Amino acid sequence: MRTKLVVGNWKMHKTLAEAVATVEASLRWVDARRDVDVAICPPFTALSKVRELLRHTHIQVGAQDVFWKDSGAFTGQVSPAMLSDIGCAYCIVGHSETRGRFGKLEVAESSLGYFAESDHTINLKIRALLFQSINPILCVGETEAERQAGQTEAVIRNQLASALEGIDPSEMYFFAVAYEPVWAIGTGNTCDAAEANRVCGFIRQVISDLTDADVAQNIRILYGGSVKPDNADELFRQPEIDGGLVGGASLDPHSFSRIVMAAGSNA
């Protein structure tokens, strides 16, 4: 049976002092749920300190993104070797926001070219993370327009096929894939639990087609997109949903703790 995984993605939030306070406030309750795997993905500036605070717990640290080279003249980038040195166990790749696909647009539309992630760069990042033994959390999902056009399955299949191209199936057992419908990210809208389960099951089938059935049965598929304490229990009861990639609710220690508890009660 797959162990539930709950990942808090803090995005561009929290100073160092705020990060410390948030971890300390939730540590007792979250660490008590040893039947749930938990990871926190703070901003790069807080990674080292958060890792230090969590060193003697079962809670892991993850990064929100990575560059695919271990070193070089790449101003502003952070390498897989640097993440490994800090002690990161996970790294999010292909998030819709790094792809320039926003559920709630908070920047000028003319600036979207800044977010230049592509299927090719996602594949490069996955390869680089695996080389450093860091577990990728691959994000896939459709926009509202794509869903309305009946393209959900085609979009997700293409995202998976491109991201996993050339990856040896034997390296994928510790992968996680997060289904994040773009229209639900930061909007307060949540995909119906039964529909989220259906799409997560579809993702598992595509992974089976691309790799093999054993990998597909072992890989954890998370749901992300306005996961909150009041919907977490219903989501985590679904047989194809193995946990959550939690955005806004992970910023509040009480809310995040309740989501982890919900995962534990459905483990």
- How far is Cα 210 from Cα 207, in angstroms, rounded to an integer? 5
234 carries an active-site annotation: no
C-alpha closest to that of 67 among 159, 144, 142, 132: 132
Active-site choice (95, 97, 117, 146): 95
SS3 221: strand
Annotated catalytic residue: which of 142, 146, 180, 240?
Answer: 180
CB–CB of 182/190 below 8 Å?
Answer: no
Known active-site residue 95? yes
Extract the tokens encoding 129: 């993370």
Let me know: does 103 contact 225? Beta carbons within 8 Å. Answer: yes
Residue 159 CA to residue 129 CA, distance in Å, equals 18
Give strand pairing partners of 174: none
Q: Which active-site residues does the annotation give?
A: 95, 180
